[in-house]
Amino acid sequence: MLVAVAALLLAVWAFPVLWALLTSFKTERDVLAYPPTVIFEPTLRNYRDVLFGSASILPNLLSSTIVAGMSTLLTLVFAIPAAYALARLDLPGKRASGFYVLATQMLPPVGLIIPYYLVLQKIGGLDTYAGLIVIYLTFSLPFAIWLMVSYFEDIPREMEEAALLDRAGRLRALWYVILPQVRGGIAVTTIFVFLNAWNEFLFAVVLGGNRVRPVTVAMFNFISVEQTLWAKLAAGAMLAMAPVIVLGLLAQRHIVKGLTVGAVKGGR
């Protein structure tokens, strides 16, 4: 019974992806055929047009890579020491800081888009990589801190205390003792932050422009009032999903380990 339910859920999740994959190899005529055609002559023309045609998304893939990559890197640089401090140090206002980090996750993004737009307009940050990356940090950093605090709290304090007794210092203890123990948590946080930045649309479409136009916004190049180029749209979607899928496959071992570390320790 459980296997059947899991197979059904997997089929529901996989069907849109597989259908989009099939659509990306069809001609526009085959896409609009009724009833839908399952057997057809595949073509790579859609991928050639999407990559090298007049509406190429290669610059948009580059923009997404820069924005998502820098957002993820900066998030980890700030989130790791912040999460460590909240988990280990007795800081004044520690409870209030933890509540603030959690509360920022409850704010609806649509309510922040106008203030963000006005602030970036004042400082000339619209349609720039720096402006979009800073905005992404405002929602990825609290999420990463909130996620990583639990991993730091799972590390026994005795390991760190032994390093401090050997005069290692806080930073050396964090780098050589604590971080190797939370590699799984760092991998999970990296994947989630990168996915959120790569798939984000609302801030990208409002705060971006012609110079900084992520691939999620570039999908609109194939949608117009007259018609929607479904085959090219599907090909673009497949190319946009490819980096995320590859990243997930490469890091799946660390992701599984990081997601289960808390449950394993809790069951002991």
CATH of 59-262, one of 3.40.50.1100, 3.40.50.150, 1.10.3720.10, 3.30.450.20: 1.10.3720.10
Q: Which residues contact 7 (CB under 8 A, 6 or more apart)?
A: none
Q: Residue type for 107, please?
A: L
Domain definitions of the chain by residue range = 59-262
Q: Distance of CA 8 to CAs 1, 12, 30, Å? A: 11, 6, 28
pLDDT at 132: 95
- pLDDT at residue 211 greater than cutoff 50: yes
pLDDT surpasses 70 at 107: yes
Give 124-167 pLDDT, tens digit per residue. 999 999 999 999 998 899 889 888 888 888 888 877 777 777 77
Mean pLDDT over 22-40 rounds to 87
Average pLDDT value for residue range 79-107: 78
Give the confidence band of 268 by pLDDT, cuts at 50, 70, 90: very low
At residue 79's C-alpha, the angle toward residues 74 and 85, to 5°, is 145
Residue range 217-265, pLDDT digits in tens: 998 888 887 788 899 999 999 999 988 888 878 877 766 665 665 444 4
CA distance 195 to 233: 20
The pLDDT confidence band at residue 25, using thresholds 50, 70 and 90, is very high
Q: What is the pLDDT of residue 97?
A: 72
Is residue 47's pLDDT more than 80? yes
Q: Which residue has the higher pLDDT, 30 or 260?
A: 30
In the numeric block, which tokens belong to residue 11? Answer: 């089929």
pLDDT at 124: 93
What rounded mean pLDDT belongs to the chain? Answer: 85
Lowest mean pLDDT: which of 47-51, 112-116, 225-229? 225-229
* Number of neighbouring beta carbons within 10 Å of residue 217: 20
Instruction: Enter the pTM of the model.
Output: 0.85
